[in-house]
Structure 1
Amino acid sequence: MTFTTRFAPSPTGPLHLGHAFSALLAHDMARDAGGTFLLRIDDLDQSRARPEWEQQIYDDLTWLGITWDAPPRRQSNHFADYAATLTQLRARGLTFECQCTRRDIEAAANAPQEGAPLFGPDGRLYPGTCRHLGLSADAATCTRLDMTKAAEVTASFTETGPTHSGLHTLTKEDLRATIGDVVLSRRNMAASYHLSVVLDDVACGVTHVIRGEDLFEATRIHVLLQTLLGIPTPEYHHHTLIRDEAGKRLAKRDDARAIAKYRAEGATPADVRSMVGL
């Protein structure tokens, strides 16, 4: 099996040093293994995606010396694929429609009888308010995975990153208590990140997922979906994050560390590699 990995930025702002580290690391690992490196444009959120940011992704990566081995895959070209899979999960009774707002979820979590609020990879855990209401898709704002049913499968994944290395086995108790009924799609979005990334990776034959450690907890959701859908689970490698002087991870709004800024100031690709510890 050919080592195949990818870099999947969203065209919603400038790439920064954290992106450079992730892209260079994945590219280096693929080339060292004699494998394949792919580029995916995660433009799922069409309200925020911009053509100029997508073009800058290509420009920045090319400047860094990164090459990809197939035309970039753009999520916005595959909304029908996400919808078809969602229909399949609905037909199996693994989803339910939800009309709760974030304010509703916050209020339910802070009710005295609920005890201390809990958080998962998607933030505040959903309290299950709409799970048994039988709402129609027209009346709902999102579709959720019914974790009370989905968590019955047996699943595991291998992690090779520096922080969580080893074999991780999912348990239904953990999935229900610490993840809950995650969103699979919203009324204004074809699919959630969790559903789309799983389908994109299998469509591209990705064997190794290399990404930041901030997504490690979400991997349990992705492996569960892969198992439910009967598709292969890649090997995962979650790398450490590039942080600022205060220890906070970089964000796209932190323009001071944008790759384009370093380019404009005369830095070289070798300088950027040195900045990120490669």
Structure 2
Amino acid sequence: MYIGRFAPSPSGPLHFGSLIAALGSYFQAKSHSGQWLVRIEDIDPPREVAGAASLILKTLDTYQLHWDGDVLYQSTRLEAYQDQIERWINNQQAYLCECTRKQIKAHGGYYSGTCRDKTLPASTPCAVRLKMRYPVESFIDQRYGQLDIPKALAEEDFIIKRRDGLFAYNLAVVLDDIYQGVTEVVRGADLIEPSGRQISLYKTLDVEPVSYLHLPLAIDDNGNKLSKQNHATAIDLDNPVPTLLNAMRFLGFNIDNSIETESLETIIQWGVENWRLLQLPNELKIKPPFSNEAL
């Protein structure tokens, strides 16, 4: 069975860019008669906004994007992340690292394994890095074919637990996708490079990697992706149809005038029935086909 998911972080309300990711993952799952799960990635408290998780779920419901099963909150999975890290440390697949970002930047921007053979005391403020055994320099995207990753990045021993004690995104997302039985990950093209590290994690865990489909990023007039960090406007909850139709056009749908006057539920169902990967734009970074003021 196909199992897809949408996994937003509760760092603010959904914006146009996150709606694109939600729609793309939903259409891909439902066009395969599969399940569409929602996971709230709430493992970075300093970035979280009070009430954002509830608002995200309300927004999905308003846009008729109804998920299957219960919502999984990553904050309930911390013990599983720590258990895996401890197993890796115990068998010497992971190690403590005291290098700062400033130090790594001064040596070319890529971590060179400085702490790999050190034995640092557990009391030292450290990150935990996983020894890179399976570097991934390219992978096959379901729409865009082979996507390449810089060799130096692919070969890095990367962080699985930060020095502030928070678990790293790459670790949590892979363990949770395995836990939930996800078969394909559909998300924005800004996460192409992390995909390489995540595939390497699957191989380290001796689990078959998921398939990947990356969706084009919506960018603003300055070439920046629409994101919460860039203060992208929250999508409209009072009159969602125009925003929904704009997001579907962004994803390559050729929407007939007769569809525009239908209900949200009918539009979403039409989207499922007419979803095709080849309709996605050829470019991975594009401006929406309408004024950004409409966002």
Name the TM-score, length of structure 2 as normaliser: 0.77
Paired with 2:13 and 2:147, the residues of 1 have a C-alpha distance of 35
Does structure 2 conserve the Cα–Cα contact (< 8 Å) formed by 1:79 and 1:190? no
How many residues are matched? 251
Moved more, 85-94 or 182-191: 182-191
Partner residue of 2:70?
71
Partner residue of 1:146?
131
Partner residue of 1:112?
none
| Structure 1: gaps spanning 5 or more residues | 110-116, 118-123
Task: Sort the Cα spacing of 1:156 and 1:178 in 2 relative to 1 into closer, same or farther, 3 A.
Answer: closer
Partner residue of 1:181?
157
Task: Sort the Cα spacing of 1:248 and 1:155 in 2 relative to 1 into closer, same or farther, 3 A.
Answer: closer
Partner residue of 1:49?
48
Paired with 1:11 and 1:137, the residues of 2 have a C-alpha distance of 31
Aligned: 1:224 with 2:209 = no
Partner residue of 1:161?
143
Partner residue of 1:209?
185
Paired with 1:213 and 1:254, the residues of 2 have a C-alpha distance of 17
Paired with 2:152 and 2:244, the residues of 1 have a C-alpha distance of 46
Deviation at 1:255, TM superposition (A): 4.0
Partner residue of 2:172?
196
Q: Percent identity of the aligned residues?
A: 31
Paired with 1:214 and 1:40, the residues of 2 have a C-alpha distance of 19
Task: Sort the Cα spacing of 1:256 and 1:134 in 2 relative to 1 into closer, same or farther, 3 A.
Answer: closer
Deviation at 1:136, TM superposition (A): 2.5
Does structure 1 conserve the Cα–Cα contact (< 8 Å) formed by 2:185 and 2:211? yes
Paired with 1:100 and 1:186, the residues of 2 have a C-alpha distance of 11
Deviation at 1:103, TM superposition (A): 1.9
Aligned: 1:132 with 2:114 = no
Does structure 2 conserve the Cα–Cα contact (< 8 Å) formed by 1:212 and 1:238? yes
| Structure 2: gaps spanning 5 or more residues | 254-295
Does structure 2 conserve the Cα–Cα contact (< 8 Å) formed by 1:202 and 1:232? no
Does structure 1 conserve the Cα–Cα contact (< 8 Å) formed by 2:138 and 2:146? no
CA RMSD, 1 decimal: 2.4
Find the partner of 1:243 among 219, 223, 231: 219
Name the TM-score, length of structure 1 as normaliser: 0.82
Paired with 2:59 and 2:209, the residues of 1 have a C-alpha distance of 30
Paired with 2:94 and 2:2, the residues of 1 have a C-alpha distance of 33
